[in-house]
Amino acid sequence: MKIARFSRIGFILAAAGSAVGLGNIWKFPYITGENGGGAFVFVYLITVLMIGFTLMIAEMLIGYLGRSDSVSNFEKLAPRNKNLWKYGGFMSVAGLLIMIFYAPVIGWTFHFVFLSLSTLPSSVEIASEHFNTLVSMDITTQIFYHTLVFVFVTTVVTKGIKGGIEKLNFVLMPVLVVTMGGMFLYALSLSGFSKAWEFMFYPDWDKLNSAALVTAVGHAFFTLSLGMATILTYSASLPKDSNLVRSSLIVIALDTGIALVAGLTLFTFLYEYGATPSAGPGLVFISLPAVFYDMGALGHIFAFSFFVALASAGLTSAVSLVEPFIQYLVDRFGFSRLKASLSSGLFFYLFGIIAILSISKEYGAYFSFGSKSFFDWIDFITASVMLPVGGLVMSIFVGYVMEKERIASQLQRQLGRIYPLWYFSIRYIVPIALVVVILNLIGVLTL
């Protein structure tokens, strides 16, 4: 099927919009806080550079050369065993699974946008109570916002790559960059900034244990949207003669830049107002609103802008999470876009409600298995298991299965002198690192 392609800048914005998400502004600061700062940030940056960069180029290559949905691309590009390799493309379902918990969290950000227009919590205790009530008791509010997210995301993807996804990113990405940039400039003027800087960039190696290491590597994947066919699917709609290397570099620079800016800004605010950086997942929903309260009138404006930025970041990532499966349904089964969008949307909508119930006081027990709620299981299985496995499949596919000449003719010129280095990395460094992460995860290997 002929699909409308991205414009050059549209692709960059959409890929960056996918990468920059809740992962950057919500998750990165709190896992940095939990894992002791500097040393963790260092490992994350090294992983982004060594593994993320290599793999992003590989994933773009599969999409760009295949020009179709992920299953068809693996099938097309495998010189032999096409029937086996097409299963490589099934990672496109992972995005929908991520949406099961990602959509409810975007819903929380919607709630906080409205909250910042009325009353902010006047202390960390009140903020904590508010957030915990929302998450564990207020099912109606959560489902209400979850429904808004479902309607919004589904409407956008129904309009396609160009008319929906590209347009959305053209509007929301500038909102995000300007807001976060503005808040960062303000943070620069506060005395807490130097403490935040020190926390993020002065490594204390004693704090780096194996769990922190695996978290850093896992996060590098998650934040770059790698391993789940998002980048692959977007790249199938790249204009001809695109420079994959340059695009990867820009996307990675934007993603990393925004994560670091968000981290520095948040920690500055927290230090300035006497809160601690190790607050966990509640960091932006508990500590931050209380800090905004302390800032007075300016705090309301900041709170509103911040949660709008966070919601924007979430939404541009959300569309990228559902698009791979939609393209799969359209290309392989001849679904209309509308039908594909609606069925994918309903899938994450309904399971999303179960995820919401699974963390509630009232119904939690029915939807928890072992030590984890359904919500946490989905997070764990997708972000910690499927992502590294997806990355491993792609690195093996590009490193060992695809025809060498085909890869070289595409990338040799673009990568120039570092081409051999990239090829070495995709064949050895990336797969070995991923195998170590996976083995560590399933407990076979303890680092």
Return the closest-CA partner of residue 114 out of 101, 130, 100, 99.
130
CB of 200 to ligand TRP, least distance (A): 18
Pick between residue 124 and residue 200 the one whose CB is nearest to ligand TRP: 200
User: Per-residue x/- mask for ligand TRP, residues 373 to 412, rule CB under 6 A?
Assistant: --------------x-------------------------
Applying CB under 6 A, does 352 fall inside the site for ligand TRP? no
Which single residue is written with the structure tokens 């990602």? 102
User: Per-residue x/- mask for ligand TRP, residues 1 to 30, rule CB under 6 A?
Assistant: -----------------xx-xxxx------
CB of 186 to ligand TRP, least distance (A): 24
Task: Using the Cα atoms of residue 283, residue 287, residue 292 and residue 293 in order, give the sign of their dihedral.
Answer: positive
Separation between Cα atoms, residue 224 and residue 393, nearest integer Å: 17
Pick between residue 96 and residue 139 the one whose CB is nearest to ligand TRP: 96
Pick between residue 21 and residue 431 the one whose CB is nearest to ligand TRP: 21
Q: Which residues pair with 369 in a beta bridge?
A: 372
Separation between Cα atoms, residue 11 and residue 169, nearest integer Å: 9
Instruction: For residue 210, count CB atoms less than 10 angstroms from its CB and return exposed for 0-12, middle for 13-18, buried for 19 or more.
Output: exposed
- The tokens describing 281, both together, are 């997942």
CB of 255 to ligand TRP, least distance (A): 7
CB of 146 to ligand TRP, least distance (A): 17
Residues ≥6 apart with Cβ < 8 Å to 159 = 165, 167
CB of 221 to ligand TRP, least distance (A): 7
Torsion of CA 89, 439, 424, 396, to 10 degrees: -20
Pick between residue 24 and residue 242 the one whose CB is nearest to ligand TRP: 24
* Backbone torsion region of residue 2, taken as left when φ is above 0, otherwise alpha when ψ lies between -120 and 50, otherwise beta: beta
CB of 35 to ligand TRP, least distance (A): 17
Pick between residue 305 and residue 320 the one whose CB is nearest to ligand TRP: 320
CB 145 within 8 A of CB 289: no
Task: Using the Cα atoms of residue 371, residue 374, residue 375 and residue 378 in order, give the sign of their dihedral.
Answer: positive
CB of 16 to ligand TRP, least distance (A): 10
Residues 302-341 close enough to bind ligand TRP by CB under 6 A: 317, 320-321
CB of 196 to ligand TRP, least distance (A): 21
Pick between residue 220 and residue 275 the one whose CB is nearest to ligand TRP: 220
Residues 214-233 close enough to bind ligand TRP by CB under 6 A: 222-223, 225, 228, 230
CB of 88 to ligand TRP, least distance (A): 15
Separation between Cα atoms, residue 176 and residue 255, nearest integer Å: 12
Q: Which helix (H) or strand (E) holds 372?
A: strand 372-373
CB 154 within 8 A of CB 342: yes
Pick between residue 157 and residue 275 the one whose CB is nearest to ligand TRP: 157
Size of the site for ligand TRP (CB under 6 A): 17
Q: Which of 36, 95, 263, 277 binds ligand TRP (CB under 6 A)?
A: 95
DSSP string, 305-369: HHHHHHHHHHHHHHHHHHHHHHHHHHHHH---HHHHHHHHHHHHHHHHHHHHHHTSTTTGGGGEE
CB of 387 to ligand TRP, least distance (A): 6
Pick between residue 230 and residue 358 the one whose CB is nearest to ligand TRP: 230
Pick between residue 54 and residue 225 the one whose CB is nearest to ligand TRP: 225
- The tokens describing 27, both together, are 């998750």
Pick between residue 68 and residue 70 the one whose CB is nearest to ligand TRP: 70
Contact residues: ligand TRP, CB under 6 A: 18-19, 21-24, 95, 98, 222-223, 225, 228, 230, 317, 320-321, 387
